[in-house]
A and B are shown apart, each in its own frame.
Chain A
């Protein structure tokens, strides 16, 4: 297992989280995850898209056309109300799991 691979199932949560402040296009989402993780998390950038498709279908994000910094027509993804709720629940689930793991690691 490569050191920088993500925990399975967390990519969606990360995407939702970086979209929380405001709409971003795909490239920007990937960059935000890189920077915020201090380059520790290396996402295979293309895998954003299947994840985004799933979230679009679930109605957690919406896509609007906009123009990128490079002057290209791209879609900006933004969080919906349902997406916000989903993010909350995923984050609290994740917290609980982490606490559990940490507790075991600490006491065992």
Chain B
């Protein structure tokens, strides 16, 4: 113990102790007298040994190396700047991506024992539906029959209108069963959570507010508990506020128990086994794993299937399973992040190779300095340590620059991830991220530093003899440099392929026209929630709804600058869309277990013209198709292909299972297919019914304008407010914006990969330039001789370029092989593009060749300026 303290004391008072030691030794030598002085030994060496005894010499040496390193970097500002930039960019992209990967994929859920939380999932494997929600009946079945879950809670998201005496506002509402938040392991920030009594039919309606909603709308007013709000024409009492943690599966403004949701608590919903509306969450019993839980779920499903063959036809292949909540939340973003992180890793690798190459070139010039130090007694280990200290110093400085770049570029990355996962909000430059940056910085420094450090052969004599580098060592070093340049070309090629494939896929996707024309069309969802639009709990007040919408349409039609107005169930590519319904075709016997499903859209006659959806056969809707006329329907082309492959659909009748009016709709026409759900997703079979005959209370209003559609938002609002002052509009977007949102994931991935590839290409190009430049400067004399003997300058230039070209071509070949092997991981992101798309490969190879040629041509041009006389005289 005492020794440790003394050691630290020695560290802190080194200067004074050293003086004391020196004075002691000097006195000793004085007393020895002139003739015995040699008995004392080598004073300097002894002093060094004494320091060694203190145990801090490694620190001294480290600081010495550091100071020396600083001096070397300052003396070579060009090298330092290029290396810093390359390393900063390389480390920066890795830090930024790692912070996203950490926040989204790695960080544990901010909930107690988050690893026990699971999400249940039903599947109709043979109908390609692997994520079916749950009906009330099913939730009860899983709750009573499972053995692996300690708790099962349900969730579904709604949008309700909240009235608190101010502006009516549509709030994102999470509807949950009583113990949902307890299961998540949360504690209320204010008040209390729901209880069993709150979630019993007939209970007084209660409400929880999310922390951000409470902060933003009520300024964190703690007296909020006990306040009353009007929602769904009922008084709801606020009983508490949620803690400020991320909310899964979605961020909501308010939460209510299941009995308070008019939809969920309706008799119809409670009795309908096929009303798949809810998400189901669970907490595993201790000792149960996700696998054993999944087995339990599929066992229950296999029991339910034979019991209810109507709901689970054998042909659909019904089963159930569960996933851990963490995996489920990040499932969509994981492949993107991993590919981007891999790409960033490659960028860093190129930066490493490039800086190693620069350092190697610099080594050649430092040969003598190092040889002198070695001659004066520095061991090989000491010199290697010196060089590694220098490179690590450089890379840690690069890391600091990278950290700054990462924090500056984090925002666009987070908004990228937001498209795929709610966890994006949890991304920050946190402690683990800082640690990651430090570790990769140091590793990078050691990696690129060790190449020149260990290639250093201690050939003292030759190095000391100025100017006569042995040719074998030179060529070994040159080979190493060529290898590094090849690696840069190869990796650049891989990155360019990744970017090229993504961009090609993006262009393909952009060329999909979607089956409609969305130019200058503005859309908005107008959900009629107010009591005056419904009769009782579930029935719509159709006259009131039709009246409201037709007034709005009339107002807009009279507005100058608006060329067309229409209503339907959902604009193409909008997040809210048509409903799915089971149907039957009249006169066609339905086999047991045969389940026909289609999308069903409500549309006004003008909707098709406004969207440019072509009429292919029969007639379009007409104003005469009203309540008093026989019900009619239009079907999409895909619908014809699937259900009327050999018959004429016109004049046939179809009916819908959930249609309480039991209408039989006559098919009067066929319209074109529309990519309703995504440009990369095939159009879905759709039946269109006229708005006048089958109105909806949540119609999408669309207007075609004569100019920029976003300039008409005000007119749109004004038209709605003039009819009903309390009616909100949501999702106000132009169809171009909706299309842009749909393309955003692919576009952002293309942009990021493209950016990385450009970075890599730029770094590799400077690397190639450097290799050629060195080649030229080393062969100046030889070139001089050639020129003196009558070689043409063009010939010499070609000779140098050919030599550079060899490096490029070998690198290209290696890159090609590696890209063919690894491009497959990209396939999931690609739209109608093969991962081995020959056109992309050829194009990328050409671009890379061109850049490489230019990069080597610039320094190679110097040979044409070599003056043979001067070249021969040097050395």
Contact = CB atoms under 8 A, between A and B. Distances in A.
Interface string A25-68: 11100100000000000101111011001101111000100001
B28 to A, nearest CB: 5
A50 B27 contact: no
Interface string A72-87: 1111000000000000
A70 B39 contact: no
A45 B30 contact: no
Nearest to A58: B3
Contact of B28 (A27, A54, A57): A27
Given A25-B27, A74-B24, A50 B39 contact: no
Contacts of A58: 3
Contact of A27 (B20, B32, B49, B50): B32
Contacts of B39: 42, 44-45
Contact of B23 (A27, A44, A73): A73
Contacts of A53: 21, 50, 53-54
Size bin of chain A's contact surface? 20 to 34
A57 to B, nearest CB: 6
A50 B6 contact: no
Contacts of B24: 25-26, 49, 74-75
A25 B41 CA distance: 18
Contacts, number: 75
B21 A68 contact: no
A58 B54 CA distance: 10
Contacts of A73: 23, 27
Contacts of B41: 44-47
Contacts of B47: 49
B749 to A, nearest CB: 61
B40 A54 contact: no
Interface in B30-71: 30-32, 39-43, 46-47, 49-50, 52-55
B809 interface: no
Q: Which of A30, A42, A53, A73 has the most CB of B within 10 A?
A: A53
B40 A46 contact: yes
Contact of B46 (A25, A30, A49, A57): A49
Contacts of B53: 50, 53-54, 57
Nearest to B25: A49
Given A53-B53, A57-B6, A58-B3, A46 B31 contact: no
B31 A70 contact: yes
Interface in B1-16: 2-3, 6-7, 10
A38 B826 CA distance: 87
Contact of A46 (B2, B3, B43, B54): B43
Contacts of B10: 57
B6 A47 contact: no
A56 B3 CA distance: 9
Contacts of A50: 46, 49-50, 52-53
A57 B32 CA distance: 26
B473 to A, nearest CB: 39
A90 to B, nearest CB: 17
Contacts of A57: 3, 6-7, 10, 53-55
Interface string B665-688: 000000000000000000000000
Contacts of A27: 27-28, 31-32
B27 A47 contact: no
A59 B3 contact: yes
Nearest to A34: B39
A26 B32 CA distance: 11
A45 B296 CA distance: 84
Contacts of A74: 23-24, 27
B27 A26 contact: yes
Contacts of B46: 46-47, 49-50
B705 to A, nearest CB: 87
Interface string B56-90: 00000000000000000000000000000000000
Q: Which of A30, A42, A46, A54 has the most CB of B within 10 A?
A: A46
B30 A49 contact: no
A29 to B, nearest CB: 9
A2 B50 CA distance: 24
Interface of A: 25-27, 30, 42, 44-47, 49-50, 53-54, 56-59, 63, 68, 70, 72-75
Closest 3 CB pairs of A and B: A46-B41, A50-B49, A53-B53
17 contacts: A25-B24, A26-B24, A26-B25, A27-B28, A42-B39, A46-B40, A46-B46, A49-B46, A49-B47, A50-B52, A53-B50, A53-B54, A56-B6, A57-B7, A58-B3, A59-B6, A73-B23
Given A44-B39, A46-B40, 18 more contacts: A27-B32, A30-B28, A42-B39, A44-B40, A45-B28, A46-B46, A49-B47, A49-B49, A50-B46, A50-B50, A53-B21, A53-B54, A57-B6, A57-B7, A58-B3, A70-B31, A72-B30, A73-B23
